[in-house]
Structure 1
Amino acid sequence: MVCSGCSHFKREYEENLENICPFCRTHSPNSHEECHENTLKRAEADDPIAVCEIGEMYYRAGDESAYKYFAKAAEMGDAVAHYNLSDSYRRGEGVEKDERKEIYHLEEAAIRGHPDARHDLAMEEGRNGRFDRAVKHWVIAANLGHDDSIQRLKKCYTHGVVSKEGFAAALRAHHAAAVATKSLQREIVAKSNNI
């Protein structure tokens, strides 16, 4: 994600410190428009994350041209763009519904480390009766810190589909991922966004 720390931490403003973002260490933009201009500049330089963010901006505005930005960012290898394309093909938003393309982009996002995509692949495998593959996807997603996946594995364990050792290993990896991503800054942002 393009850094938006500037919009969350105002200490520099309040204490008359140098106007530097605590995350990216660049000078903080003075307005939302300046943030948007920075994202546009990064997109023009073919930054896939910025291109995907522009697509998300268009998507939130209900503009179907979001698809072309997702497609461009996906061509550059962005996992979030692949996930968004998968969702577009599933819903038929900006493109015609296409299950084959939906699964393709879901797999591409999962391969690139997108935990929601990995979880969704597990759900798809479960719907198709391939529970052994579903469990493998849930384990990978849980290792990435995906909460719903660890809950699914818990249900699988209670139904005897996952061994005690397998569930314990997934639980340890999930906990390690959760601990690794904890920080005071993330907690402050989560509280400010009511997450």
Structure 2
Amino acid sequence: MGRCQRWFLKAAEQGDAEGQYCLATAYYRGEGVPKEKEQGEKWLRKAAAQGHLEAQVALSLYGVDVLYEQEEEARDTNSGPDDSDPPSPAPIPGV
């Protein structure tokens, strides 16, 4: 892990949304850390949950496939008349 990424991790673990976002992008790009989409998504979601706008936009743009998969899994476990409806697209914050 690179020196900058260590600081991002330290900040992220303490709940800093900007640190979480920076760590997420490092994991997505493989900059100073192994390229791991799962870790990137984990930290991106934490930052977005705290209202970090760039993280929310990134999830909307890059996380659509993940959101779609989660909706499909939920649909598979639930029964009812709405099971055949396609998933709604993820909203883009600020638009």
Q: TM-score by structure 2 length?
A: 0.71
How far apart are the structure 2 equivalents of 1:102 and 1:71?
A: 12
Gaps of 5+ in 2: 69-86
Tell me which of the two structures has the higher relative contact order, counting C-alpha pairs closer than 8 angstroms and 6 or more residues apart.
2
How far apart are the structure 2 equivalents of 1:107 and 1:133?
A: 17
CA separation of 1:68/1:125 partners in 2, compared to 1, >3 Å: closer, same or farther? Answer: closer
TM-fit CA distance, 1:124: 2.2
Aligned length: 75
| Map 1:7-156 → 2, pairs under 5 A | 64-126=2-64, 128=65, 130=68, 132=88, 134-135=90-91, 138=92, 141-142=93-94, 150=95
Q: Radius of gyration: which is bigger?
A: 1
How far apart are the structure 2 equivalents of 1:72 and 1:132?
A: 36
CA separation of 1:81/1:133 partners in 2, compared to 1, >3 Å: closer, same or farther? Answer: farther
Structure 1: 4+ residue segments shifted above 3 A: none
RMSD between aligned alpha carbons?
Answer: 1.7
Percent identity, aligned pairs only?
33
